[in-house]
Structure 1
Amino acid sequence: MVEIERKFLVNSSIYKEQAFKSTRIIQGFLNTHKERTVRIRLKGNKGFLTVKGVSTTDGLSRFEWEKDILIEEAEALLKLCEPGIIGKTRYEVKTGKHTFEVDEFFGDNEGLVIAEVELGFENENFEKPNWLGEEVTGNIKYYNSQLSKKPFKTW
């Protein structure tokens, strides 16, 4: 139940040609307290409830618990979320032994593209595709919970 991931900005759209899957995601937050976030997500035709804990100081890992919920439950819970619903298309790109999730945001965060890779342990090596840009792991302004409050278009 510990998530270990690194985040990067993306410097080209080549990832779209390399993606083996894309999914539209709508998500909101029932709670964005600094010690925990509670997220509701519609991903394709599925619903999810996710609780995330505080990140380590380097931002590499944190507690994460996720549960599938009915799509109707997710739709109802989205109506209770704090202001700032996030919309994005997620592209999945296999690179070496890892899969990068590349989120292309729309709405108030249009223009922002972030790639994440989940790791088995914090110092695990991974192949970096040439479309990866600056690493933003641990930079709180790129957390989805923060993008819901301070969207990219306001920076």
Structure 2
Amino acid sequence: MGKEVERKFLVADPAWRSLVEAHIRIRQFYVAAQPGRTVRVRISDGGSAALTLKFGNKARERDELEYPIPLAEAEELMAFAIGRVIEKTRHHVRHRGYLYEVDVFGGVLSGLVVAELETPEDVPDEMLPDWLGREVTGESRFYNASLALGGIPEIAA
């Protein structure tokens, strides 16, 4: 079983846009969610899909299993979505050797921009890019399951 170790930040400055290496259009939804565990379906660029199981309550680390599934089955599973379907574009941005995934949300979540840094090591604050805003690691309202199931968080970088 893999470990997901990540930090989340609001994005305060659009300077990251000039550093984008790639982007992926994502639609994702949850078919099960409760504290400490979720079952998510993600469709990437309309051409591939994955089923992801996440377990754990720690702010920075969770167990994660991910399996590719047929696109047609992912589309069918959308009928069983709980909450809203999340639409976002994920941008890959490198800074000082680290890959940041900057998610620009669409639909009812438009205006929300969150950057994730997945790394098992602690990156000192002085190594973080200037375009990051407030760290929201551990603030469940900014986790995708909460965005799908709950209200829209107040956006304050």
Q: Normalising to structure 2: TM-score of the pair?
A: 0.90
- Name the residue aligned to 2:73: 73
Kept in 1, the 8 Å contact 2:7–2:116? The answer is yes
- Name the residue aligned to 2:7: 6
- Name the residue aligned to 1:98: 98
Give secondary structure in 1 for the equivalent of 2:51. Answer: strand
Kept in 1, the 8 Å contact 2:15–2:131? The answer is yes
Give secondary structure in 1 for the equivalent of 2:145. Answer: helix
Kept in 2, the 8 Å contact 1:102–1:116? The answer is yes
**Number of aligned residue pairs:** 152
- % identity of equivalent residues: 35
CA distance in 1, matches of 2:41, 2:137: 22
Q: Tell me the alpha carbon deviations over residues 97-128 of structure 1, each in whole angstroms, 9 at most, x when there is no partner.
A: 2100000001111111000000134x355831
Kept in 1, the 8 Å contact 2:83–2:150? The answer is no
Kept in 1, the 8 Å contact 2:142–2:153? The answer is no
Kept in 2, the 8 Å contact 1:8–1:137? The answer is yes
- Identify unmatched segments of 5+ residues in structure 2: none
- Identify unmatched segments of 5+ residues in structure 1: none
- Name the residue aligned to 1:38: 39
Q: Which of 29, 48, 51 matches 1:49?
A: 51
- Name the residue aligned to 1:22: 23
Give secondary structure in 1 for the equivalent of 2:84. Answer: coil
AA aligned opposite 1:5: E
Return the offset for 1:76.
Answer: 1.2
